[in-house]
Amino acid sequence: MISKNDEYILAVALSNERIASEVVARAIDASADAAAAQAALDIITDSAKERKEIREYLIVATASRSVGEEIAEQQEIVVECLEYQAAANIANNAALNAAQAKVKALSAKAREYLIVAMANRAAANRVADEIDAAGAVAAGIADAI
């Protein structure tokens, strides 16, 4: 998980504490079973409006549409994978695999833009690492048997 201190720096960069909290809550780097995935989803309470808001704040903070969208998309993929895991339905296996195929580590460009936005290389790299770790965990979710 992203530390409280790094969350604070992110909140300053985003100029919004609540959105920073949303971003941190989506950087889940612990593998979970279906019940734990559901518990995490209950905290996130994902909605289209929320997704759009996070995306917009990331775009403005990084001053780059492509970078903001890249970070937001990776976080959305993690949540999508968690949804399939929580459902634990074999009918979702194909959809889970398709979502997992979209998991990518953040690009060097995204990292650099995040560093500039957060004005802190170490903290931005830690945040990017946590987002990447969440993606790696999501990519490792096993199919429902």
Partner 1 sequence: MKKSDKMRELMAGKAKAPAKKIEKKAEEQKEQEVKKEKRKIKKKKED
Q: Under the rule (CB under 8 A), what is the footprint of partner 1?
A: 1-2, 4, 7, 17-18, 20-22, 24-25, 28, 30, 32, 36, 39-40, 43-44
**How far is residue 12's CA from residue 33's CA, in Å, rounded to a whole number?**
34
In the complex with partner 1, which residue's Cβ is closer, 4 or 108? Answer: 4
Q: Which is nearer to partner 1, 25 or 114 (CB)?
A: 25
- Residue 66 Cβ, how far from partner 1 at the closest point, in Å? 26
We find the least distance from the C-beta atom of residue 11 to partner 1, in angstroms, to be 10
Q: What's the min distance (Å) between Cβ of 119 and partner 1?
A: 20
Of the pair 12, 32, the CB lying nearest partner 1 is at 32
C-alpha dihedral, 132 to 117 to 122 to 134, nearest 10°: -10
Distances (CA, A) of 15 to 12, 43, 65, 78: 5, 22, 17, 24
Q: Which is nearer to partner 1, 25 or 67 (CB)?
A: 25
Report, in Å, the least distance between residue 73 CB and partner 1.
20
Cβ–Cβ contacts within 10 Å for residue 126, how many? 17
Burial (CB count <10 Å: 0-12, 13-18, 19+), residue 5? exposed
